[in-house]
């Protein structure tokens, strides 16, 4: 069963084709990594998956259902959430408020205007336990903008997880995190619930091979090859275009 | 720390955020005291209270949802005209009139929000400005209905609940307006502290993230835009009830600019900014305006430039804070 | 009918000369300058004072108005505007509206609130008949001068080093900086020139546009329409938008005086809603 699937997905901007008939299949419960050199079209693909962009052609399916024409927030409701390569947080809210907000939206309580925010004990409890889980308990009430970068990075993932996704897109989770705080993020990523399917977009090969059980390689908008880590590591084409070994470039 | 501890801490933090601060009680007691302390100033105070409500309505858009508007007077004026026409043709019962005006302006906001909410800040500025200009032209041209440039007079205002006359009674008018302001303030306060209110803050803070945690950003913005328009409509209706004539000045650009300025002076995003700002603005206008009525405009312009240069969210309070900080540093120097 | 067309073109050309500087401000620095009309007004008053009080010939007053507005623009840009480039649009709007209020009040203080008329030389007054079309001499002059300015602008933009730098900066600021172009200086000069052109337009069109202290507010919406409908990626867009707006406004006032403003504002809203990037921009959006 595929948790996430694209069929002949294509995006054109004028003459540029950043996504060129990509048919990606991510199995239920997989730890799938998407790698590729700079400019391979990884960001565009994520934006197509999450609905920020509309494809010129092709389909996006989530758990077998077609989500190609859904808006971003509708896709979240179907069970796909994401993190961002560059933090996209609510600077003026605290981690607690941010997480509680996500949970409230997930529980379809976000449009209630006559209830007190945080008045629902179940939501507050869940938010507190998520904050605990992501190492945010000690800064739970502080303004997000005042947190150290590593904590913000944790919050970035916590917000995506708080939506209880079936499929989670992780866009370079360790990007920019200082070496000292790196292991914390990697532990968090490794400890993600097993029933969540994860698609990891990553540059860092150590992270990819330490995490993924399946790898797809994207080059110039096209899927070059897909396989398990061993196959990818030994694939001459991947070595040529990506790992750079033996290739002139 | 255990999860239970974290929950207790979290719960306390959330409760504290939405609870009334003691300063808020002091503030409203002081406002109530003005009824007795300044009996000769009730006309001015009524103006301040009405502008406060108008500025509060803009704060809902700007301070909480980040929607910039240069034409908020469109809804204020629409509410005022609806109030006057409804009172003339149906009933002068003041609360019914307010309700009708609020609903009408809210509906106008609902419809126009579809135009406003597309595009960037700049497009929003232009479209809100354009809507207000169109409303102005309409009011001007449909003189058979609105009285055109002469305005609309003869609006009946019955006693509130049949027992509390407000027509041509400055003190009663002031009490009436103040009560409406307070009730609507409490409602707005409750709304901004609801899940809906927090989702607006999220949209304002980061629309990209807001939609990727599942918030339907457009719907929420439409809702708050209609709410802000309804509040503005009630403010317009209040002014119509407490002044003899509803005229084109209710919709003109000056009014949209003034309300924006008042809100900015008082600061956005904490609901009190509009009240503080309109009080400061109108009191200053009274004093400076008395000395050099023509050049009041210069000082408004000056205030705008200074505030834009130095103050961010908290209006005059940011400037006071900056000055205080500078003085403290000065003192700290040997 | 043709006379209206003619008057409309004259009016539109004026609008273009005044607002092309605004297009650059908006396109290059993404800066919302609601005070642009103030520079046009200053140019107009500069010409008014020179011609009426000191007897300077009308033609001689035009370049002075240009320089005057450009100087003030340069000073304002370096001292005030420069603080607002990275601020939000709201702060830019507050700041520039503040400037408008201040200039209007100052002009009111020094020169009075009445509408002022520049004493035009007698050879510019009246109209002549050209194949049955009544042609106002003054409006003909406006068209000629503005056409000249448009041609000169095209030449500068298309065929000089400065022009190519400016176009590079408008296209992509980061790349332009990377190429070693001093974007800040390019912008300061362009800003000043834009203000100068506004001043020149204000002086030239003082008669049509009615010179009074609230000129900047009254015409603010027109200038904004020109740049938002025309787009900011070329000067052709604003030019076409100006001409259309000019003709539309003159015709509207003539044929349907009651609905002139209404129609124009409605069209503006519709265009903005359907084509937020402007009517005459290339199809793709960034």
CATH number of the domain where residue C11 is located: 1.10.3470
Helices C260-274 and B121-141, interaxial angle, to 10°? Answer: 150
Q: Kindly indicate the confidence band of residue C7, based on its pLDDT and cuts at 50, 70 and 90.
A: confident
Instruction: Give the three-class secondary structure for A64.
Output: coil
**Residue A239 DSSP label:** I
Integer angstrom CA distances of residue B77 from B54, B148, B155, B252, C146:
11, 13, 15, 8, 40
B59 within 8 A of B268, measured Cβ to Cβ: yes
At residue A246, the pLDDT reads: 43
Coil/strand/helix, residue B92 = coil
Q: Which helix (H) or strand (E) holds A4?
A: strand A2-13
- Chosen from B1, B6, B9, B197 to mutate, greatest number of chain A CBs within 10 A: B6
**Substitution target from A90, A91, A143 for chain B, most B beta carbons within 10 A:** A90
Q: Tell me if B6 and A131 make a contact (CB, 8 A cut-off).
A: yes
pLDDT more than 70, % of chain A: 97
Q: Provide the β-strand partners of residue A5.
A: A25, A61
Res C285: pLDDT: 38
Segments forming the whole domain that contains residue C249: 2-274
Residue extents of the structural domains in chain B: 40-279
What was the pLDDT predicted at A99? 96
Asked if the structure places residue C284 within a domain, the reply is no
At C280, is the pLDDT very low, low, confident or very high (cuts 50, 70, 90)? low
Say if residues C249 and C226 touch (Cβ distance below 8 Å).
no
Strand A222-227 relative to strand A214-219, pairing: antiparallel
Q: What phi, psi does A174 have (nearest 5°)?
A: -95, 5
pLDDT at C221: 86
Q: Which positions ≥6 away from C240 have C-beta within 8 Å?
A: C230, C280
Q: CB of C199 within 8 A of CB of C46?
A: yes
Residues β-bridged to residue A25: A5
pLDDT band (50, 70, 90) for residue B209: very high
Mean pLDDT of A159-181: 90
Q: What's the mean per-residue pLDDT of chain B?
A: 91
Distance CA B324, CA A67 (A): 55
Nearest to B213 among A124, A141, A159 (CB): A159
Are B255 and B140 spatial neighbours (Cβ–Cβ below 8 Å)?
A: no
Instruction: Tell me: pLDDT of B309 over 50.
Output: yes
What are the two backbone dihedrals, phi and then psi, of residue A117, each rounded to the nearest 5 degrees? -65, 130
C-beta separation of C35 from C62 below 8 A: no
* C281: in domain: no
| Min Cα separation B124/chain C (Å) | 9
- Measured distance CA(B286)–CA(B299) in Å, rounded: 12
CATH top class, domain A2-243? alpha beta
- Please give the residue of chain B at the shortest CA–CA distance from A140: B10
Q: Residue B215 and residue A73: Cβ atoms within 8 Å?
A: yes
Please indicate whether, in this complex, the C-beta atoms of B294 and C88 are within 8 angstroms of each other. no
pTM of the model: 0.91
Which pLDDT band, with edges at 50, 70 and 90, does C283 fall under? very low
Q: From CA A195, how far away is CA A191, in angstroms rounded?
A: 11
pLDDT at A139: 93
- Verify whether residue A172 is a known catalytic residue: yes
Query: Average pLDDT for residues A5-15, to the nearest whole number?
Result: 89
What domain count does chain C have?
1
Predicted confidence (pLDDT) at residue C54 exceeds the cutoff of 80: yes
At residue B313 the predicted structure's pLDDT band, cuts being 50, 70 and 90, is: low
Contacts of A168 (CB under 8 A, 6+ apart): A80, A81, A82, A83, A160, A161, A192, A196, A197, A198, A199
Average pLDDT of span B169-197: 97
Q: Cβ(C284)–Cβ(A14) under 8 Å?
A: yes
pLDDT at C176 over 90: no
C-chain residue closest to B141, CA distance: C258
Residues 6+ apart with CB under 8 A from A200: A31, A32, A33, A34, A170, A173, A189, A207, A208, A211, A212
Provide the H-helix boundaries in chain C.
2-29, 36-54, 58-79, 89-111, 137-159, 161-171, 173-178, 183-204, 206-209, 215-230, 236-255, 260-274
Is the confidence at residue C257, as pLDDT, over 90? no
Q: Which residue has the higher pLDDT, A15 or C14?
A: C14
For residue B160, what are its two tokens?
């509130």
pLDDT of residue A249: 39
The chains in contact with chain A, meaning 3 or more Cβ pairs closer than 8 Å, are B
pLDDT at residue C284 in the model: 38
Domain annotation covers residue C279:
no
Average pLDDT on B290-296 reads: 76
Q: What distance in Å separates the CA atoms of residue B214 and residue B217, rounded to the nearest whole number?
A: 9
Residue C75 lies in a domain: yes
> What's the whole-number mean pLDDT along residues B12-20?
90
Burial per residue of B175-200, b for 16 or more beta-carbon CB atoms within 10 angstroms, e otherwise: bbbbebbeebbeebbebbbbbbbbbb
- Taking contacts as CB-CB distances below 8 angstroms, the residues of chain C near B305 are 80, 94-95, 98-99, 102
Domain boundaries, chain A: 2-243
């Amino acid at each position: 069963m595929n948790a996430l699937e694209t069929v002949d997905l294509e995006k054109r901007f004028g003459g540029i084709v950043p996504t060129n008939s990509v048919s990606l299949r991510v199995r239920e419960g997989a730890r799938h990594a998407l790698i590729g050199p700079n400019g391979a079209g990884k960001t565009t693909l994520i934006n197509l998956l999450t609905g920020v962009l509309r494809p010129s052609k092709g389909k996006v399916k989530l758990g077998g259902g077609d989500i190609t024409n859904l808006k971003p927030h509708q896709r979240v409701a179907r069970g796909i959430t994401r993190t961002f390569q560059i933090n996209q947080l609510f600077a003026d809210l605290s981690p607690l408020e941010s997480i509680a907000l996500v949970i409230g939206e997930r529980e379809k309580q976000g449009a209630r205007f006559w209830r007190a925010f945080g008045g629902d004990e179940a939501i507050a409890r869940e938010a507190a336990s998520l904050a605990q889980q992501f190492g945010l308990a000690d800064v739970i009430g502080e303004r997000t903008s005042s947190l150290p970068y590593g904590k913000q990075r944790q919050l970035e993932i916590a917000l995506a997880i708080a939506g209880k996704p079936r499929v989670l897109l992780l866009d370079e989770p360790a990007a920019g995190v200082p070496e000292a705080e790196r292991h914390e993020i990697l532990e968090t990523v490794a400890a993600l619930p097993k029933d969540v399917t994860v698609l990891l977009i990553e540059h860092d090969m150590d992270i990819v091979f330490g995490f993924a059980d399946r790898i797809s390689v994207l080059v110039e908008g096209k899927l070059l090859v897909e396989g398990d880590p061993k196959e990818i590591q030994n694939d001459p084409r991947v070595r040529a275009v990506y790992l750079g070994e033996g290739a002139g470039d | 720390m255990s999860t239970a501890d974290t929950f207790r801490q979290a719960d306390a933090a959330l409760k504290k955020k939405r609870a009334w601060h003691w300063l808020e009680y002091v503030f409203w007691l002081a406002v109530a005291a003005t009824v007795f302390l300044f009996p000769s100033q009730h006309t001015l105070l009524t103006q301040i209270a009405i502008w406060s409500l108008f500025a509060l309505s803009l704060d809902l858009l700007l301070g909480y949802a980040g929607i910039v508007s240069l034409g908020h007077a469109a809804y204020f004026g629409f509410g005022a005209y609806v109030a006057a026409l409804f009172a003339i043709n149906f009933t002068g019962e003041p609360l019914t009139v307010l309700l009708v005006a609020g609903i009408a302006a809210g509906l106008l906001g609902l419809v126009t929000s579809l135009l406003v909410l597309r595009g960037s800040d700049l497009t929003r500025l232009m479209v809100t400005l354009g809507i207000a200009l169109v409303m102005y032209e309409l009011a001007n041209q449909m003189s058979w209905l609105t009285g055109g440039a002469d305005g609309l007079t003869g609006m009946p205002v019955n006693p509130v609940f049949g027992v509390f006359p407000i027509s041509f009674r400055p003190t009663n008018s002031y009490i009436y307006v103040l009560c409406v302001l307070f009730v609507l303030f409490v409602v707005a306060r409750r709304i901004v502290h609801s899940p809906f209110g927090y989702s607006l803050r999220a949209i304002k803070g980061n629309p990209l993230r807001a939609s990727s945690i599942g918030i339907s950003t457009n719907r929420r913005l439409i809702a708050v835009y209609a709410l802000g328009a309804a509040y503005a409509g009630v403010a317009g209706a209040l002014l119509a009830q407490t002044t003899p004539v509803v005229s084109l000045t209710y919709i003109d650009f000056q009014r949209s600019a003034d309300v924006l300025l008042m809100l900015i002076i008082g600061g956005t995003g904490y609901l009190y900014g509009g009240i503080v700002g309109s009080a400061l603005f109108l009191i200053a206008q009274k004093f400076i305006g008395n000395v050099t009525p023509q050049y009041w405009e210069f000082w408004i312009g000056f205030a705008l430039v200074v505030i834009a240069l130095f103050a961010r969210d908290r209006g005059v309070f940011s400037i006071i804070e900056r000055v205080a900080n500078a003085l403290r540093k000065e003192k700290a120097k040997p | 009918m043709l006379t209206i067309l003619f008057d409309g073109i004259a009016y539109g050309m004026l609008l273009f000369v005044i607002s092309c500087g605004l297009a650059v401000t908006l396109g290059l620095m993404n800066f919302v300058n609601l005070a642009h009309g103030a520079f046009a007004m200053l140019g107009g008053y500069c010409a008014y004072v020179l011609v009426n009080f000191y007897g300077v010939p009308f033609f001689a007053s035009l370049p002075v108005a240009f320089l005057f507005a450009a100087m003030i623009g340069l000073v304002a840009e370096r001292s005030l505007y420069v603080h607002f480039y990275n601020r939000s649009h709201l702060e830019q709007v507050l700041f520039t509206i503040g400037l408008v209020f201040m200039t209007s009040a100052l002009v009111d203080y020094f020169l009075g609130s009445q509408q002022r008329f520049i004493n035009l030389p007698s050879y510019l007054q009246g109209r002549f008949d050209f194949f049955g079309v009544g042609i106002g001499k003054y409006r003909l002059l406006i068209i000629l001068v503005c056409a000249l300015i448009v041609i000169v602008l095209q030449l500068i933009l298309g065929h000089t080093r400065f022009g190519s730098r400016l176009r590079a900066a408008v296209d992509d600021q980061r790349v332009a900086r990377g190429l070693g172009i001093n974007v800040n200086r390019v912008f300061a000069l362009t800003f000043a020139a834009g203000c100068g052109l506004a001043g020149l337009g204000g002086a030239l069109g003082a008669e049509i546009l009615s010179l009074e202290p609230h000129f900047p507010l009254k015409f603010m919406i027109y200038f904004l329409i020109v740049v938002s409908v025309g787009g900011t990626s070329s000067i052709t867009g604003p030019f076409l938008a100006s001409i259309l707006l000019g003709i539309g406004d003159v015709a509207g006032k003539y044929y349907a005086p009651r609905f002139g403003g209404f129609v124009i504002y409605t069209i503006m809203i519709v265009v903005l809603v359907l084509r937020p990037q402007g009517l005459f921009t290339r199809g793709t959006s960034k």
